[in-house]
Amino acid sequence: MKTKETIKQRKVRSNESISAFKEELRALSFEPIYGESVKDIIMRFTTKIQELAEQYGYEIDFPKKAEVETDGNIYYFVYNIKVKTKMSVKKLKISIQYIMYDNNQWVGLITGIK
Protein backbone atom coordinates (compact mmCIF):
# COMPACT_ATOMS: atom_id res chain seq x y z
CA MET A 1 0.00 0.00 0.00
CA LYS A 2 2.82 2.36 0.81
CA THR A 3 4.26 1.92 -2.67
CA LYS A 4 1.00 3.01 -4.32
CA GLU A 5 0.91 6.15 -2.19
CA THR A 6 4.44 7.15 -3.15
CA ILE A 7 3.67 6.56 -6.83
CA LYS A 8 0.59 8.80 -6.54
CA GLN A 9 2.65 11.51 -4.85
CA ARG A 10 5.23 11.37 -7.62
CA LYS A 11 2.53 11.70 -10.27
CA VAL A 12 0.99 14.68 -8.51
CA ARG A 13 4.35 16.39 -8.23
CA SER A 14 5.31 15.71 -11.84
CA ASN A 15 2.03 17.19 -13.06
CA GLU A 16 2.76 20.45 -11.30
CA SER A 17 0.55 23.25 -12.58
CA ILE A 18 1.63 26.80 -13.24
CA SER A 19 -1.93 28.06 -13.58
CA ALA A 20 -1.66 30.46 -10.61
CA PHE A 21 1.50 31.92 -12.14
CA LYS A 22 -0.27 32.32 -15.50
CA GLU A 23 -3.20 34.08 -13.81
CA GLU A 24 -0.84 36.59 -12.21
CA LEU A 25 0.77 37.18 -15.61
CA ARG A 26 -2.71 37.79 -17.04
CA ALA A 27 -3.30 40.33 -14.28
CA LEU A 28 -0.27 42.24 -15.59
CA SER A 29 -2.22 42.78 -18.82
CA PHE A 30 -4.22 45.44 -16.99
CA GLU A 31 -1.03 47.37 -16.20
CA PRO A 32 0.37 49.09 -19.29
CA ILE A 33 4.05 49.96 -19.10
CA TYR A 34 5.23 53.28 -20.49
CA GLY A 35 8.74 54.05 -21.70
CA GLU A 36 10.91 55.98 -24.11
CA SER A 37 11.68 52.98 -26.29
CA VAL A 38 10.60 49.41 -26.94
CA LYS A 39 13.87 48.21 -25.41
CA ASP A 40 13.09 50.10 -22.19
CA ILE A 41 9.65 48.49 -21.95
CA ILE A 42 11.04 45.02 -22.72
CA MET A 43 13.47 45.38 -19.82
CA ARG A 44 10.65 46.41 -17.48
CA PHE A 45 8.43 43.49 -18.55
CA THR A 46 11.35 41.09 -18.16
CA THR A 47 12.03 42.37 -14.65
CA LYS A 48 8.37 42.09 -13.62
CA ILE A 49 8.06 38.56 -14.99
CA GLN A 50 11.28 37.45 -13.27
CA GLU A 51 10.18 38.94 -9.93
CA LEU A 52 6.84 37.17 -10.21
CA ALA A 53 8.54 33.86 -11.05
CA GLU A 54 10.86 34.19 -8.05
CA GLN A 55 7.82 34.47 -5.77
CA TYR A 56 6.75 31.03 -6.99
CA GLY A 57 10.26 29.59 -6.89
CA TYR A 58 10.47 29.33 -10.69
CA GLU A 59 13.24 30.24 -13.11
CA ILE A 60 12.52 31.89 -16.46
CA ASP A 61 14.46 31.39 -19.69
CA PHE A 62 13.76 34.18 -22.15
CA PRO A 63 14.44 33.64 -25.86
CA LYS A 64 17.14 35.56 -27.70
CA LYS A 65 14.58 36.65 -30.30
CA ALA A 66 10.83 37.02 -30.49
CA GLU A 67 8.35 36.63 -33.33
CA VAL A 68 7.62 40.17 -34.53
CA GLU A 69 4.84 41.66 -36.65
CA THR A 70 4.38 45.35 -37.41
CA ASP A 71 1.39 47.44 -38.38
CA GLY A 72 2.39 51.09 -38.70
CA ASN A 73 3.34 52.31 -35.22
CA ILE A 74 2.14 49.11 -33.55
CA TYR A 75 4.50 46.19 -32.95
CA TYR A 76 3.33 42.71 -31.96
CA PHE A 77 5.91 40.51 -30.20
CA VAL A 78 5.40 36.86 -29.24
CA TYR A 79 7.87 35.48 -26.70
CA ASN A 80 8.21 31.72 -26.21
CA ILE A 81 9.52 31.50 -22.66
CA LYS A 82 10.43 28.45 -20.58
CA VAL A 83 9.36 28.28 -16.96
CA LYS A 84 11.55 25.95 -14.91
CA THR A 85 9.62 24.60 -11.95
CA LYS A 86 11.03 22.30 -9.28
CA MET A 87 9.91 19.22 -11.20
CA SER A 88 9.71 20.14 -14.88
CA VAL A 89 9.97 22.76 -17.61
CA LYS A 90 6.79 24.38 -18.92
CA LYS A 91 6.51 26.51 -22.05
CA LEU A 92 4.49 29.72 -22.29
CA LYS A 93 3.73 32.10 -25.14
CA ILE A 94 3.45 35.71 -24.06
CA SER A 95 2.06 38.16 -26.62
CA ILE A 96 2.94 41.80 -26.07
CA GLN A 97 1.81 44.79 -28.11
CA TYR A 98 3.98 47.92 -28.29
CA ILE A 99 2.38 51.15 -29.47
CA MET A 100 4.12 54.42 -30.30
CA TYR A 101 2.18 57.55 -29.39
CA ASP A 102 3.02 61.27 -28.88
CA ASN A 103 6.63 62.33 -29.52
CA ASN A 104 8.13 58.84 -29.84
CA GLN A 105 6.83 57.63 -26.47
CA TRP A 106 5.91 53.96 -26.18
CA VAL A 107 3.42 51.85 -24.25
CA GLY A 108 3.53 48.07 -23.87
CA LEU A 109 0.58 45.80 -23.10
CA ILE A 110 0.42 42.06 -22.52
CA THR A 111 -2.31 40.86 -24.88
CA GLY A 112 -2.18 37.11 -24.38
CA ILE A 113 -0.70 34.22 -22.44
CA LYS A 114 -0.92 30.62 -23.62
* pLDDT per position as a tens digit, 10-54: 555 545 678 999 999 999 999 999 999 999 999 999 999 999 999
Other C-beta atoms closer than 10 Å to the C-beta of 95 total 17
Strands (E), the chain: 33-35, 59-61, 67-71, 74-84, 89-101, 105-113
70 lies in which domain range? 18-113
What's the confidence (pLDDT) of residue 7?
Answer: 59
Domain membership of residue 23 (yes or no) is yes
In sequence order, the β-bridge partners of residue 96 are 77, 110
**How many folded domains does the chain comprise?**
1
- Prediction pTM value: 0.80
* pLDDT per position as a tens digit, 55-93: 999 999 999 899 999 998 899 999 999 999 988 899 999
44-77-33 Cα angle (round to 5):
30
DSSP code of residue 52: H
What's the confidence (pLDDT) of residue 2?
Answer: 61
Domain membership of residue 7 (yes or no) is no
What's the CATH code of the domain at 96? 3.10.450
Domain membership of residue 39 (yes or no) is yes
Consecutive H or E run containing 11: helix 2-14
What's the confidence (pLDDT) of residue 17?
Answer: 79
Mean pLDDT of 84-109: 92
CA distance 52 to 76: 23
Domain membership of residue 3 (yes or no) is no
Domain membership of residue 54 (yes or no) is yes
Domain membership of residue 2 (yes or no) is no
Helix axes 38-56, 19-27, angle to 10 degrees: 140
- Dihedral of CA atoms 12, 83, 24, 99 in degrees, nearest 10, equals -150
